[in-house]
Amino acid sequence: MSLYIRRTREGRETHYVLKESYWNGSCFAARNILDLGTDPTEHIVYAGGNGFYFSDAVEEAFTRMGLERETEDLEQAFLHYLDPHIRRIIENFSTGRSPAHPSWDAEELAHRQRFLHPFDKRRMHFLRCGRIDIGSLDGRSWKFLNVLCDKCRDEIEHVIEGLEKDLRPQERRNYLFTALELQRYFPSHLLKNNPAALDPNTVDQYFLEEICRLNEDRTFFVGVEDHSPGKLHPYLVKYVIMYFDHADTPQSLWQRIFEDFVRHRQFRFQPARPSLSEEEACACLGLHPKEYRAMSAQALARHYRRRAKKHHPDAGGDHETFIRLSEAYECLARKKTRGR
């Protein structure tokens, strides 16, 4: 079971629904757990310090549906809506499953990623790497795709929409050009990877054709019960709006070329981060410098974890002391790495 909070529009209001991806016997599908109303934070109850729990309505929803849930899964679903300080603690010390699925070997990852749709793969590649010329994504597993594994179509769209928020306006048409692989229609064109340099009417025509073709693709909408190929699904309507709201012009093309030219020839001086001395870092971790130098990197990490657990704010420790411990460990760990 994979929990997530989906944002929906009801008239002029934004509503939030707690949902889950689940295996229905043949594919991953989505089902609603609880309508959270217009503010998910109303279902988070802070108990003082760093403690919190979820409202009775959330607990009752799982009981009513006969579903079991893990506290960690629910925390991850509500993570974005938690107090920022508590969110950082959970992000730094969560022991749950990571997007990289470390329990899966390379063969298992490749098997699971084979079920991902090519449109999803191309979208994720652009969102992670920002490249139009992406080559082939088949034939091997890619770490950046792991976050989409074992999710229904609705949750995949939820994940990707969160990443799309970081797209700059001038990147959006390039994004869709790449996601729909429109460059394949211009195989011999020298600027096939620069949509602004291609005939706009031709590009628009291919864009609409590919959107309609995707709308009829049953493998893309697997597990989606309410989709009719005769009507463009909201998952794709947003892309038509995005595409035609950000039309390229000759001016924008040359402006982008100029900006790329300047950016790749700039020298950016990045001052070194202030660092603790070896003596200061050792004192902070309760080590003698000779003891530290005799330690392996693994022994240093174990020593740090013991100290961090003791001084963690959730265990009654001081927040500033905990941060100082982390800085000291990073300093000494870097010295170990450089000394290899």
Query: Is 48 part of a structural domain of the chain?
Result: yes
Range among 107-121, 192-206, 208-222 with highest mean pLDDT value: 208-222
Considering the domain architecture, whether residues 215 and 116 belong to the same structural domain is answered as yes
Question: DSSP per residue over 93-117, as a string?
Answer: H--S--TT-TTS-HHHHHHHHTTS-
> Has residue 153 got a pLDDT over 70?
yes
Range of the domain at 331: 278-338
pLDDT at 215: 96
pTM of structure: 0.69
Considering the domain architecture, whether residues 253 and 302 belong to the same structural domain is answered as no
Query: Is 270 part of a structural domain of the chain?
Result: no
In which band, very low, low, confident or very high, does the pLDDT at 226 lie, cut at 50, 70 and 90? confident
In which band, very low, low, confident or very high, does the pLDDT at 339 lie, cut at 50, 70 and 90? low
pLDDT at 333: 85
Report the domain count for the chain.
3
Considering the domain architecture, whether residues 117 and 82 belong to the same structural domain is answered as no
Q: How many CA atoms lie within 13 A of 171 on its CB side?
A: 14
The residue among 317 and 76 whose pLDDT is bigger is 76
8 A C-beta contact, residue 85 and residue 14: no
The residue among 276 and 284 whose pLDDT is bigger is 284
> Has residue 248 got a pLDDT over 70?
no
From 325, 327, 312, select the one nearest 49 (Cα to Cα): 312
Report how far residue 300's alpha carbon sits from residue 331's, in angstroms, rounded to the nearest whole number.
11
List pLDDT tens digits, range 260-283: 555 555 544 444 445 688 899 899
pLDDT at 5: 96
Whole-number percent of the chain with pLDDT over 70: 86
Which residue type does 154 have? D
Considering the domain architecture, whether residues 259 and 121 belong to the same structural domain is answered as yes
Considering the domain architecture, whether residues 140 and 239 belong to the same structural domain is answered as yes
| In the chain, alpha helices (H) | 56-64, 71-77, 84-93, 106-113, 118-129, 153-164, 172-179, 200-215, 234-244, 250-263, 278-284, 289-294, 297-311, 319-338
- Averaged pLDDT for residues 17-26: 93
Report how far residue 96's alpha carbon sits from residue 75's, in angstroms, rounded to the nearest whole number.
10
CA torsion through residues 288, 290, 294, 297, sign? positive
DSSP state for residue 148 in the 8-state scheme: G
pLDDT at 62: 93
> Has residue 317 got a pLDDT over 80?
no
Q: Of 240, 263, 286, which marks where a domain is finished?
A: 263
In which band, very low, low, confident or very high, does the pLDDT at 89 lie, cut at 50, 70 and 90? confident
Q: Of 263, 297, 317, which marks where a domain is finished?
A: 263
